Each structure stands twice: as structure tokens, then as C-alpha cells.
Copies of this chain bind each other. A is one copy, B any other.
Amino acid sequence: MAATGEAGRDMVRNKQVVLKHFVVGAPKETDMEFREGKTSLKILKGAEGAILVKNLYLSCDPYMRGRMREYYESYIPPFQPGKPIEGFGVAKVIDSTNSNFSVGDYIVGLTGWEEYSTIIMTEQLRKIEILDVPLSYHVGLLGMPGFTAYVGFNEICSPKKGDYVFVSAASGAVGQLVGQLAKLHGCYVVGSAGSTQKVELLKNKLGFDDAFNYKEETDLAAALKRHFPEGIDIYFDNVGGSMLDAALLNMRVHGRVAVCGMVSQHAVSDTKSISNLYTLVMKRVRMQGFIQSDYLHLFPQFLQTMVNLYKEGKIVYIEDMTEGLESGPAAFVGLFSGKNVGKQVVHVADE
């Protein structure tokens, strides 16, 4: 709904999701609030090299929790209270003073949780060239989570045909792909997830050999022993905590643990300590943390591979899409109790 603003420009409403204060413990919807601002549909004078975008899809990712803490020593700075939070998104360029981007282009990269964003740090953006897949996939299958699965599995896990692979948070944005990549590699794959529905998806839609609901197990080490009587060659760890401890007890000789994330520890102040590290020596296990952005030189190869696999029908991707920016805070908060079934995306607007 355009109006004529002070400077005589077209002004429109710009709803925003703002961080209210730094967060301690599990994030809550009330840690964020909505603000209704206005924005011009033209880039303000002086902002050379910028683009103005309409945000279409916003991605909910667990790492964003880290940016809600007052902690400045991370690889990425915290959000600023009183300002819109930011995250990966797919957006359409509606004005540009940057020669790399034209009006009408679709881009993916860090943008604001708001209807319209002016993006100055355009180096981190990617123009979307692949338009014959759902646009939202560029924050999932073909975006950061997909890339995380790809480099985590290929570069960290040293997979071999026939390996026994365990994936936690297996139906999530990263996990669902790790499992499918492992199957394509000729591995035996079991996933854990937090509901019957997710377990069914893993077995019937995502092609896992087996899956279990960890919330129904009283003894995680025993559950893993049941699913891996011969032990685990590769554990792709998305959750940390007690599942990691249980997996360590079940590793095979020369096993690998890819430490992708510890989502079970994000939201708790009293983190779970790990007792079974001695297996690292006994079983000569390699345990390795990684961050996808260290491997960006592999992104073009990833994109090509994944698009092909998808188009050949060899890979599927499950999204959990909520409607409207208003649904954003709840969707994000839901990650930490497993409300999302598949990759959590917020659909902000149509083109």
C-alpha cells in the first residue's frame, strides 16, 4: 500500500521482527516483538552499491540462537536488541544501485526479518540462477543447510560403501539430506527424531534403513546397540548431549564423529557433560567439528550435484512452511522443541 512520504517518495509499510533483549536459556516468542515501520521503495541517495529487496522466504536456523546471546567472541556477532533480527532468506530485487544485481533478480543470502530490506553487504549474496526448483529450496536443499549436509558428510565423515551411519535430528534441514547422501553412497543409515510422524517420514519418504524416536527410549546407548549391533562407523551429530555420549559408546574401530551442531545444548544453561570420550582412544575414533562456511569453494560443485540429484528424483526435500512474517518467532522458537517437520521456512510474501 504505497503512500507518498516526506521526501516525496513512494513509502510502504515495513513490518519487522525485532530482538527485544539478549536471550538466556531457551529462546521464547516473547524475546522478539513486531514493529511496524515504513520504507521507501527506492534506495535512499548515498547508498551506492546497495540493493533494496522484498523478502519472500526467511529461513529459521538453530545457529541464530547463538546470535541472540550477548557473546562477542563467536565467528559471527550477536543481533542488536531493538533492531530486526537477520537470517538467510530468498528475496526479489526491487531497486538496485549495484551493478551486479538488477531489478527483478532473485537473491539468496543474509537479509532482515522484515518485509523489505536494504542490503549493503552484497558480497555475501548470491544471485539465484536456478529457477526451476521451488524458490524456498535456496535456503534449504540448495542453501546453507543442504551445503552443511554435503560438506559435513563428504569432507568430514570419510564415508565408505557399507558404512554404518547414524544421524540425529535426522528429519531436520540438515539431517534429512545427510541420510539421503549416505544412502546414495551405499551406507546403511539409521536416524533418530523426536516424534512418530518424523520416524515414519524417515523410513517411508526419506529412504532411511531404519529410524527411532529417541524420546521413547529410556537408554539411548541400548537403543543404538539395538540398531547397530556391529557398531557405528559414522555418527553425524546434530544434537550433542546424551545422544553424543551414547553414540560414543557404540562407535566402531576407526569410526568418525562429525560434530555439526549441538542443538540439545543451545537452549539449556546447564549443559550435559560427556563421559565416554575414552572410546576415542579405545576405538581410535576421529571426532571433528566443522562450519560449512569454511568450505565455500565447494559451493558451485555442491549446487550442481544437488540440483542434478533432485531433478533425477534421487533426492527429496521436506519443508515445514509457515505463513506470514507474523509466524516467524514461533517457527524459530519451535526448532528447539522439535516442532518443525523438515526444513523450517517462513513464507513472507509472494513475488
Chain A positions within 8 Å of B, measured between CB atoms, are 74-75, 240, 244, 259-262, 265, 271, 273-275, 277-291, 294
Contacts and interface: CB of A to CB of B under 8 A. Distances in A.
Contacts of A273: 273-275
Given A74-B282, A265-B278, A274-B275, 18 more contacts: A75-B282, A240-B278, A261-B281, A262-B277, A262-B278, A271-B278, A274-B274, A274-B277, A280-B289, A281-B291, A282-B289, A283-B289, A284-B290, A285-B289, A286-B286, A286-B287, A287-B287, A288-B288
Q: Which of A260, A271, A280 has the most CB of B within 10 A?
A: A280
A244 B277 contact: yes
A199 to B, nearest CB: 26
A278 B272 CA distance: 11
Given A286-B286, A288-B285, A294-B284, A277 B240 contact: yes
A276 B207 CA distance: 34
Contacts of A262: 277-278, 281
A299 to B, nearest CB: 17
A294 B253 CA distance: 11
Contacts of A285: 288-289
A102 to B, nearest CB: 37
Contact of A288 (B260, B265, B286, B294): B286
The 6 closest A-B pairs by CB, nearest first: A273-B273, A280-B289, A281-B289, A286-B288, A287-B287, A259-B280
A273 B273 CA distance: 5
Contact of A281 (B259, B271, B282): B259
Contacts of A290: 281, 284
Nearest to A262: B278
A168 B240 CA distance: 26
A265 B259 CA distance: 24
Given A262-B278, A278-B265, A280-B259, A288 B289 contact: no
Nearest to A259: B280
Contacts of A280: 259, 287-289
A280 to B, nearest CB: 3
Contacts of A289: 279-286
Contacts of A240: 277-278
A105 B280 CA distance: 38
A296 to B, nearest CB: 14
A244 to B, nearest CB: 7
Contacts of A294: 284
A155 to B, nearest CB: 11
A285 B286 CA distance: 11
A65 to B, nearest CB: 12
Contacts of A75: 282
A333 B271 CA distance: 35
A35 B87 CA distance: 72
Contacts of A284: 288-291, 294
